[in-house]
């Protein structure tokens, strides 16, 4: 236990923060020693601060219950208590940006769920199975800002995980993708709490999520980009068009994807083999949160389904199905991932595990 790394959670009382606490319980590498939230919660025990707003379906872990909540705006309060913070604050964008920079300047590794730094040129946006090498921009990031040991790393928007890892697996196997059209059916938890009204979501779907299509189209290009001269140059392709829908599902974003290959069009069997055999750095390092199979292909014609497949390999796998020819582009398939685990807190914990393995914390 003594060699675990102490970590903190900024925005610990919100739904994302609660997920961190749930997922980090008994983590072999990390121990939650610091929780911070808005000034209104500061000074209370975590259990009191969150009181009846605890939304997880397991109880608050004993180790966190009695931690005193600090003011998240104050990096000094975290000083000496932890070396990495997971940022799940819900402030407006410029305040979040400043707060995360302040923590980095104060020497903390910041792994963030927020979108504030996603477009920052020297901040890596990492899906651990796709671009773990982007973490190697950290020395340049530190130099750019004069930080001795802090850093900022972000995750992407949760909408893109259902299609980006399978797409990347194909690209890495010499099957580059030229363009793709994606329609998503996204879960309620992706909207935070309280999110959409039940009155709007019973016997209904909403064919719009504010800002989501833009993120779904743009963020993949940064993830597929390359570190070059101290910044991350986005990739030129593939071209992506996204339709984003909100559906009455608790967790699990589903994507209906049509893709066109850049060059050779592989067979169905070849694509499935690429997916089933796909492993990347997190698997090679055997990281605690790395699923054994980052991509699972289901042969039944009606899968993946959110409630039945979102928990595959502790909710860290992307589950695929229905690969078939497309009449307009080349192939169609369906992808699914657990948006609040793989697509949010779980994905960030895996990033943190990489940071440790790579010696950045």
Tell me if 268 contacts its own copies by CB under 8 A.
no
Q: What angle do CA 345, 348, 351 make, to 5 degrees?
A: 155
Binding its own copies (rule: CB under 8 A), the pick from 207, 230, 263, 292 is 207
Tell me if 200 contacts its own copies by CB under 8 A.
yes
Contact predicate 344/323, CB 8 Å: no
Strand 84-87 vs strand 177-186: parallel, antiparallel, or unpaired?
A: unpaired
Choice between 201 and 285, CB closer to its own copies: 201
Binding its own copies (rule: CB under 8 A), the pick from 119, 239, 265, 268 is 239
Residue 31 main-chain phi, psi, to 5 deg: -135, 130
User: Which pair of tokens denotes residue 13?
Assistant: 């009382």
Q: Which stretch binds its own copies (CB under 8 A): 104-112, 162-170, 222-230, 242-250?
A: 242-250
Tell me if 228 contacts its own copies by CB under 8 A.
no
Q: How far is the CB of 241 from its own copies (least distance, A)?
A: 4
Q: What are the Cα distances from residue 228, in Å, to 2, 5, 122, 239, 250?
A: 38, 31, 10, 22, 40
In the sheet that 5-10 helps form, which strands lie side by side, from edge to edge?
A: 69-71, 30-37, 5-10, 84-87, 109-112, 151-154
Binding its own copies (rule: CB under 8 A), the pick from 35, 137, 249, 345 is 249
# residues near its own copies by CB under 8 A:
64
Q: Which residues are catalytic?
A: 158, 253
User: Which pair of tokens denotes residue 33?
Assistant: 């020693």
Choice between 167 and 191, CB closer to its own copies: 191
Q: What is the largest distance, in Å, between two alpha-carbon atoms of the chain?
A: 61
Tell me if 292 contacts its own copies by CB under 8 A.
no
Binding its own copies (rule: CB under 8 A), the pick from 29, 248, 270, 288 is 248
Binding its own copies (rule: CB under 8 A), the pick from 105, 107, 173, 196 is 196
First to last CA, the chain: 17
User: Distance between CA 318 and CA 308 in Å, rounded?
Assistant: 13
The pattern of x and - marking residues 156 through 195 that bind its own copies according to CB under 8 A reads: -----------------------xxx-x-x--xx-x-xxx
User: Which pair of tokens denotes residue 176?
Assistant: 């580059």
Nearest to 321 by CA among 296, 343, 345: 296
Interactions with its own copies, residue window 4-63 (CB under 8 A): 51-52, 55, 57-59
Tell me if 321 contacts its own copies by CB under 8 A.
yes
Give one word for 349, left, alpha or beta, with left for phi > 0 and alpha for psi -120 to 50: alpha
User: Which pair of tokens denotes residue 143?
Assistant: 């130099």
Choice between 95 and 265, CB closer to its own copies: 265
Tell me if 305 contacts its own copies by CB under 8 A.
yes
Nearest to 155 by CA among 359, 357, 337: 337
Tell me if 258 contacts its own copies by CB under 8 A.
yes
Binding its own copies (rule: CB under 8 A), the pick from 66, 79, 241, 277 is 241
Q: Which stretch binds its own copies (CB under 8 A): 67-75, 129-137, 141-149, 250-258?
A: 250-258
DSSP 234: P
Tell me if 262 contacts its own copies by CB under 8 A.
no
Task: Summarize as ranges the residues that interact with its own copies (CB under 8 A).
Answer: 51-52, 55, 57-59, 179-181, 183, 185, 188-189, 191, 193-208, 217, 239-241, 243, 245, 247-250, 254, 256, 258, 300-312, 321-322, 326-329, 332, 334
């Amino acid at each position: 236990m003594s060699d675990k790394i102490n970590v903190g959670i900024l925005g610990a009382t919100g739904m994302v923060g609660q997920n961190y606490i749930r997922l980090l319980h008994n983590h072999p590498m990390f121990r939650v020693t610091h929780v911070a939230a808005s000034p209104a919660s500061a000074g209370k025990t975590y259990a009191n601060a969150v009181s009846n707003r605890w939304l997880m379906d397991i109880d608050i872990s004993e180790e966190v219950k009695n931690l005193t909540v600090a003011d998240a705006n104050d990096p000094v309060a975290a000083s000496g208590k932890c070396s990495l913070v997971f940022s799940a604050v819900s402030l407006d964008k410029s305040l979040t940006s400043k707060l995360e920079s302040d923590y980095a300047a104060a020497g903390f590794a910041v792994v963030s769920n927020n979108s504030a730094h996603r477009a920052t040129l020297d901040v890596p946006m990492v899906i651990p199975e796709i671009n773990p090498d982007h973490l190697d921009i950290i020395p340049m990031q530190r130099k750019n800002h004069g930080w001795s040991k802090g850093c900022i790393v972000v995750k992407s928007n949760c909408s893109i995980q259902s299609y980006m890892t399978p797409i990347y697996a194909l690209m890495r196997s010499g099957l580059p993708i030229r363009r793709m059209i994606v329609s998503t059916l996204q879960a309620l938890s992706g909207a935070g709490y309280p999110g959409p009204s039940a009155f709007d979501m019973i016997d209904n779907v909403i064919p719009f999520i504010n800002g989501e299509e833009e993120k779904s189209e743009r963020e993949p290009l940064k993830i597929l980009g390359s570190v070059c001269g101290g910044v991350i140059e986005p990739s030129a392709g593939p071209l992506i068009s996204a339709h984003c829908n909100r559906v009455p599902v608790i967790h699990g974003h589903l994507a209906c994807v049509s893709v066109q290959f850049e060059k050779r069009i592989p067979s169905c069997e070849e694509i499935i083999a690429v997916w089933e055999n796909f492993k990347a750095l997190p698997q090679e390092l055997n990281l605690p949160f790395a699923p054994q199979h980052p991509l699972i292909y289901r042969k039944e014609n009606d899968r993946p389904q959110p409630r039945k497949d979102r928990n595959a390999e502790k909710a860290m796998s992307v589950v695929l199905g229905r690969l078939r020819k497309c009449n307009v582009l080349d192939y169609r398939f369906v992808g699914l991932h657990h948006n609040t685990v793989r697509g949010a807190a779980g994905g960030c914990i895996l990033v943190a595990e990489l940071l440790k393995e790579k010696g950045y914390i």
